Amino acid sequence: MTIQFSTKVLADIDFKSPKGAAAVCGLSGDCLVVAYRANELSQLEALDDLLGGAISEARSVGDLDGKAGACTLLRSTRAWALNNVKLKRVLLVGLGDNESLGDFAKIARSILKAVSGGSIQSVLWHTSSFVGKQKSNQSPTAIVERI
C-alpha cells in the first residue's frame, strides 16, 4: 500500500476563526492531522463547531489526554457534511507538555501508525499546530520533512 502525503503548509490558518476552520475543512482529503496540547484545546473551537462537536465529545469521554503521541481519530458524520466539511477524518495528535518537542519521534511514529494500513491514502498536515508559537528554527515545512 502506498500512502500519499499531501503537505499543505497552513501557517496562516487559525482554528479559533470560523473562516480559517472552514477553509481547511473545505479541502478534500482522507485525513487532516492536527496537533494539540491538552491545555490548548480552546484553540480548536471553530474546528469543533464545524465537526458537530466531535472534539468536545472526544474530550468529554476522555479520549483527548494530550500525552505525546496520543492519537484520536474522528470520522466524518452527517454533521460534517451539513457544515460542508469535505474531510473524511481528522486525526488529533497530543504533543504532551514538553515545549521542545523532544518526543517528536514518538509523535511521528504514532501518526504514521494511525494513518497507515487502512483506507487513508492522502493526508493533509496542519503543520503550524505542531509548533504552536513558531520558533525560528522550527518552520512548519521543516517539521513535516522530519517525519
Q: Which three cell numbers stand for residue 18?
A: 470560523
**Mean pLDDT of the region 31-56:** 92
Beta strands in the chain (DSSP E): 4-6, 31-36, 71-75, 89-94, 122-125
129 pLDDT higher than 90: no
pLDDT at 57: 97
Please tell me the CATH superfamily of domain 4-146, with its number: Leucine Aminopeptidase, subunit E, domain 1 (3.40.220.10)
Model confidence band, residue 98 (pLDDT cutoffs 50, 70, 90): low
Q: Taking the domains of the chain in order of start, what are their residue ranges?
A: 4-146
More confident residue, 97 or 67: 67
Residue whose C-alpha is closest to residue 128's, from 6, 3, 5, 15: 15
Residue whose C-alpha is closest to residue 54's, from 22, 77, 88, 84: 77
Specify whether the CB–CB gap between 129 and 117 falls below 8 A. Answer: no
Note the pTM of the prediction, 2 decimals: 0.82
Distance between CA 59 and CA 27 in Å, rounded? Answer: 25
Computed over every residue of the chain, the mean pLDDT equals 81
Positive or negative: CA dihedral 16, 71, 123, 130: positive
